[in-house]
Structure 1
């Protein structure tokens, strides 16, 4: 069980972290939604417990274990990961709004 202060700090940390990473990637690569596309893959890296070679040697077992692991996440974990996705989406919205108003990023 995760304590409430840990959840609150984690939510803020994930939001700010992925907003910042998404903002920088959007600014440098000029692709407004790049982090929103990459973030689900990052979530799978976070949740994953298998060695990567298992996805080549026994993909059926490895992917089924990964899906079971994702399905068994606690509500606090889902809330924390969702806050990261919100940060990634908000970075895309922010970049689009800044570009619409005439700010040129690199």
Structure 2
């Protein structure tokens, strides 16, 4: 299925803002600057993969092979959208670090 450039741009901005916001809130509440950047790869795997979480433990080989196949078959637009989510999570960590360095204490 083809994705128009407008949908791609909106999706990139949406993922960046979404994961920036979630990361910012988690960083404020848990006081760990990089929590969302660490959690994001697992979130991306759950977005990409169609295998249930429990299958990674019960049928590991098939689950990881399916994950590798799905990662290899991602379209460029999908990679850009997922990368913008990671960029948002990293930007949230950098923003929290910057704010704490300049004296702002959140919770």
Please classify the TM superposition score into its range, dividing by the shorter chain length: over 0.9
1:84 aligns with 2:85: yes
- What is the aligned partner in structure 2 of residue 55 from structure 1? 56
- What is the aligned partner in structure 2 of residue 22 from structure 1? 23
Cα distance in 2, alignment partners of residues 16 and 53 from structure 1: 30
Which is worse superposed, 56-65 or 29-38? 56-65
- Structure 1 stretches lacking a partner, 5+ long: none
Q: TM-score, normalised by structure 2?
A: 0.95
Q: Write out the 4+ residue segments of structure 1 that deviate beyond 4 Å after TM superposition.
A: none
* Alignment RMSD (CA, Å): 0.9
* Offset, 1:62: 1.1
- What is the aligned partner in structure 1 of residue 76 from structure 2? 75
* Offset, 1:63: 0.8
